[in-house]
Every structure is written in structure tokens, then in C-alpha cells.
Amino acid sequence: MADWSEIILRLGAATLAGGAIGLDRDLRGKPIGLKTLGLVSLSTAMVVLLALQSVQPGQFTDAVSRVIQGVLTGIGFLGAGVIIRRGDRFQVHGLTSAACAFFAACVGIVCGAGHWPIVVTAVALAFLLLTVGRRAERWLHHVLGGKEYPHEPEAAPGQSSDAGPHQPGR
């Protein structure tokens, strides 16, 4: 059974990691942010920690496995809520935010299980993808002769191009 300091560490790390991922989304004007992904990660860490409390230290049982499966299934509904399709074209927006919701849930699971090297490595790689991913995609499309990225949609009057619907005029 984990003591108070271990519980605080696991839940705190999950909240901070999920919140940091959400902050990236929020700063980019996306429809999911710090509070949402912080809560996703915290809640998943909480249920995994609860499930782990009932088993021998370091063991994953069928019950723990079912908790994790249920969390990952349920998080799909939250992710689906941020994905939108615009117009008649095949323009889909929000996939990265949905992937971030799924990732925050996974970070919460791993924090709840207390596997710190995995948490640190995964969060570092996620931030690498989130910060240089679009530039790398554009560069690779240009170098490899792939389909060019469509231009960013025009901003509504009084709204900057990177502001989302919840941040007018940012």
C-alpha cells in the first residue's frame, strides 16, 4: 500500500504532466487546455492507484488491467468531443487535441503505477512532437514532394489566427 508521500507524488506528477500538455494546447488556441488535460491525467492516475492499492506491490492483476482498459475506452468520448469536420471538404480539426487527451490519460495511468522513467521519457517526447512536429511535417512534405499543406483558415474579424473559439481576440 502506498503511503501519503507516494500518493501525493503520483497524483501530483500526473496532474502537472497533463496540465503541461494542456497548456501547450491552450497556448495554441485549441479547444482543450490545461484544466481539462490536467483533470484527465489526474483522474486516470487516481483510478489506477486505487486499483493498484488492492494488489501486491509491483503486480498488475486482471482487475488492474480492466481498470486501465475502461479508462482508455472512456477517454475516446472526450477526444471525440474536440474533433470537428469543416465543410464539404475532408478537413478535420482537433485530432492532435484528441490525441493529447488520450496521451494525458496514458500519462495518468503510468503515474498512477509509479513508473517514473516512462513518464519522463514520454512527456519529453510528446513536447518534442508538439513543438517541432508541424515544422517537421511541412519540411518533409517540401523535401519529399508530398502534398503541400493547405493554408491556415482566415481568422474571423477581431480574432488572431491562433485563437480558438474560447479565446476571441487573443
Q: DSSP for 59-124, please give it.
A: ---HHHHHHHHHHHHHHHHHHHTT-EEETTTTEEE-HHHHHHHHHHHHHHHHHHHT-HHHHHHHHH
Residue 17 resides in a domain: yes
Number of domain units in the chain = 1
157: its cell numbers? 474579424
Radius of gyration of the chain (CA): 18
Residue 159 pLDDT grade (very low, low, confident, very high; cuts 50, 70, 90) = very low
More confident residue, 65 or 151: 65
List, for residues 61-115, the tens digit of each pLDDT value.
777 788 888 888 888 777 777 777 777 666 778 888 888 888 888 898 888 888 8
Residue 143 resides in a domain: no
Residue 165 resides in a domain: no
Entry pTM: 0.63
d(CA 164, CA 31): 6
Residue 127 resides in a domain: no
Q: How many CB atoms lie within 10 A of CB 116?
A: 13
Contact 44, 112 (CB under 8 A): yes
Question: Does the pLDDT value for residue 164 go beyond 70?
Answer: no
Residue 66 resides in a domain: yes
115: its cell numbers? 513508473
Q: How many CB atoms lie within 10 A of CB 88?
A: 6
Residue 40 resides in a domain: yes
* Domain housing 44: 4-116
d(CA 151, CA 64): 45
Residue 42 resides in a domain: yes
Contact 113, 48 (CB under 8 A): yes
